[in-house]
Amino acid sequence: MRSSGEERAALCEELGIEASLLGVGVDRVDYTKGILERFRGIERFLENYPAYLQRFSFVQIGAPSRTDIPRYKQFLEEVGVEANRINARFESGRWKPIVFLQRHHSHEEIARFYRAASVCLVTSLHDGMNLVAKEFIASREDNRGVLILSSFAGAAQELRDALLVNPYDVDQLARSIHQALEMNEEEQGEMMSRMRKIVLENNVLSLGRQPHFRPQRNPRPEPERQEAMHAP
């Protein structure tokens, strides 16, 4: 198996970009996942920490969701427009800050991005346990990488070594991305080791025997998003 650095280099070559640091997000393109908020946090990060320009790229794996519903189809377009806007503002040569991959990916394909990423962003506005957070942790046998996790995700109740954020707070998101990228390997290893222990002990079968966790309530309910969430 390739090292994290080797996997990053291979993925960058395949994507046609140059970057020495990668972030990753893996979601259905859905209102509840906080993808637009995530992109704006990345934009603020690059504004506040320009030393990471031409170094850090974020790969958003976005599986199209419910595109037969006009509002969901429109939201997919909105996410693409926002990625393009931020890229137009910052990109230089073969570097761009956001790579938006609009298709379904296999578990094997996603695992490569998990292993290559310095940071994984899970910025759900309202969610259940969110298995993406646990998949990222389970993939990091090297005990490297940092998880930035929405406090509204159910997984936040047990993954206390993640950097917990309010996804609506773009300044906090920016600071957390910077903190993650500046974190030394020893601290990464300690945090990831503890989270891996939790994930491996609390597998899907054991979760079925545990009391259900109640994630924090979204402090900013939005009628349009609530309507979309309950669409058939």
pLDDT number for residue 225: 39
Using CA atoms, how far apart are residues 129 and 214, in angstroms rounded to an integer?
A: 9
Residue 211's CB is within 10 A of a number of other CB atoms, namely 5
pLDDT number for residue 215: 44
What's the pTM value of the predicted model, to 2 decimals?
0.86
pLDDT number for residue 221: 44
Instruction: With a cut of 50, list the residues of the chain below it in pLDDT.
Output: 205-217, 221-232
Residue 193's CB is within 10 A of a number of other CB atoms, namely 12
Classify residue 213 by its DSSP letter. Answer: P
**CATH class of the domain comprising 4-206:** alpha beta
pLDDT number for residue 189: 98
- The closest of 131, 125, 178, 182 to 159, measured between CA atoms, is 131
Classify residue 54 by its DSSP letter. Answer: T
Using CA atoms, how far apart are residues 122 and 170, in angstroms rounded to an integer?
A: 14
Length of the chain: 232
pLDDT number for residue 212: 39
The percentage of the chain sitting over the pLDDT mark of 70, rounded to a whole number, equals 87
pLDDT number for residue 82: 98
Residue spans of the domains in the chain: they are: 4-206
What is the bridge-based pairing of β-strands 98-101 and 119-122? unpaired
